[in-house]
Amino acid sequence: MASTGLAGRRVLLGVTGGIAAYKAAELVRRLGDAGAQVRVAMTENAARFVTPLTFQALSGNPVRLSLWDEHAEAAMGHIELARWAEDILIAPASADFLARLAHGLADDLLTTLCLASAAPVHVAPAMNQQMWANAATQANLALLRSRGVGVFGPAAGSQACGEVGSGRLLEPNELVEALANTHRPQTLAGRRVLISAGPTYEDIDPVRFLGNRSSGRMGFAIAAAAVEAGADVTLVAGPVHLPTPAGAQRIDVRSAREMHAAVMRAAESADVYVAAAAVGDFRPQEIAAHKIKKRGDGGMTLELTQNPDILADLAALPRRPLLVGFAAETEHVEAHARAKLERKGLDLVAANQVGGGLGFEADDNCLTLIDHDGTTHLPTASKRELARQLVDIVAQRLERRETGAARR
Ligand code: C5P
């Protein structure tokens, strides 16, 4: 887990009123494991779900509940606590709390602390999926984001209220990881990173298409890691069901030709292009205007034509971004990837074995990075962790390319 960035860090954990407050107890422990010093402030409603004593025992510090507590104010006043914090994390953040924070209210201790502190504020929303989807909540979130407030999650899944959808608090270890990642070195600051992700769909007729099993998760993880590393990120996404990583600009496309057009346009200003998309190599020669009908017992033949190769077209440009290709192989991974590096004129190839629980639809992956200097193995890890490692290597290559060009 990338939690080393939290060692010795003073984290003020704000807990607001929602059933997910029970997860905040575990979060205190996990933050402590990552080396953070934790103090907890709760809203009055949060204390209806979990007692302050729980957080006091877990954090080893008194818990603050109210602005009007004379004893607590005498010990460590709220302004002192606001100054003490190096990070503020509100988890769970209720819809009501987000609304109050977005509008600059200071009507309780927690909102006052947020306003009175210079520390970065991060919120981990948790609420009923309908409340999350509500336009008011989304507008409040957009306002908070525009002011630099970090938003962690929420996740989708089954909820305490019995509904299913977006609005679940991230798990404590995910929150610790997300907070630690806000302290990652800004290796891509000022860089424009273009990423393609997901499959392409090639229409056969109005109801059928040719597609592939790419989930888009690797490309989306790279986009998130590049944002974390300070890049200006454009994500060209094929048809996938994934939320846009916060801070990335997303362009949705469907076919390989649409992806080609979007990438070529965005590449003009990009420093690096990471081609994580599984672009369909072929498309039907013609798209039938109406659903193709069965004709007797006979089969049918689909005439296919080749799609443009986005990477190869970019490689042929006189001024081209650093080009990172992906190679999903079922055998002879390294040899095939090295051949691809040469054939397509790439700067780096990230190769992975597909099948056997790895690759397209899996959470974990492992990558072999191949360039003209040699081979680097990134062992099996979550796609998020691999994406961070890849992003750091891309940052090094960009720097090296520039110093090389400056010397010439
Ligand atoms: O040659 P192959 O399709 O295996 O190469 C895979 C790499 O090339 C991936 O990075 C993919 O995004 C890219 N590609 C492309 N345009 C295509 C096919 C693949 O950019 N038409």
Q: Where are the alpha helices (DSSP H) in 186-271?
A: 217-228, 256-267
Tokens of 350: 């990230």
Question: From residue 383, how far is each of 113, 193, 245 by CA, in Å?
Answer: 36, 18, 14
**Residue 3, in any domain of the structure:** no
146 with 117, same domain? yes
26 with 142, same domain? yes
Q: At what angle do helices 21-33 and 172-181 cross, to 10 degrees?
A: 50
Asked if the model's pLDDT at residue 1 lies above 50, the reply is: no
Query: CB under 6 Å to ligand 1: residues?
Result: 196, 256, 275, 277, 279, 281, 307, 309-311, 325-327, 340
**Residue 5, in any domain of the structure:** no
Task: Kindly indicate the confidence band of residue 354, based on its pLDDT and cuts at 50, 70 and 90.
Answer: confident
Task: Kindly indicate the confidence band of residue 161, based on its pLDDT and cuts at 50, 70 and 90.
Answer: confident
> What is the mean pLDDT of the segment spanning 371-388?
91
pLDDT at 3: 40
Choose among 245, 256, 398, 251: nearest CA to 320: 398
Task: Kindly indicate the confidence band of residue 357, based on its pLDDT and cuts at 50, 70 and 90.
Answer: low
CATH number at residue 213: 3.40.50.10300
CATH number at residue 153: 3.40.50.1950
Last residue of a domain, one of 151, 181, 211: 181
Q: What is the pLDDT of residues 64-79, one digit of tens each?
A: 999 998 888 888 899 9
CA distance 256 to 28: 47
CA distance 219 to 144: 26
Q: Per the structure, how many domains does the chain have?
A: 2
Last residue of a domain, one of 127, 155, 181: 181
pLDDT at 353: 80
329 with 247, same domain? yes
366 labelled catalytic:
no
Ligand 1 mean position to 78 CA, how many Å?
56
Sole residue written with tokens 């109406």: 290
pLDDT at 360: 60
Asked if the model's pLDDT at residue 2 lies above 50, the reply is: no
Report CA dihedral (61, 66, 68, 73) to the nearest 10 degrees. 20
234 with 274, same domain? yes
Closest atom of ligand 1 to CA, residue 343: 1
268 with 215, same domain? yes
206 with 174, same domain? no
197 with 174, same domain? no
Report the b/e string of 78-109 with b at 16+ CB within 10 A.
beebbeebbbbbbbbbbbbbbbbbbeeeeebb
pLDDT at 361: 64
**Residue 296, in any domain of the structure:** no
Tokens of 308: 């443009």
Asked if the model's pLDDT at residue 287 lies above 80, the reply is: yes
pLDDT at 66: 93
> What is the mean pLDDT of the segment spanning 154-161?
86
Task: Kindly indicate the confidence band of residue 378, based on its pLDDT and cuts at 50, 70 and 90.
Answer: very high
**Residue 186, in any domain of the structure:** no
Range of the domain at 391: 192-283+301-407
219 with 173, same domain? no
Asked if the model's pLDDT at residue 338 lies above 70, the reply is: yes
Answer yes or no: pTM beyond 0.85.
no
Choose among 272, 271, 225: nearest CA to 245: 225
CB 194 within 8 A of CB 263: yes
159 with 208, same domain? no
137 with 226, same domain? no
**Residue 248, in any domain of the structure:** yes
**Residue 315, in any domain of the structure:** yes
Q: Identify the active-site residue in 161, 164, 207, 317.
A: 161
380 with 402, same domain? yes
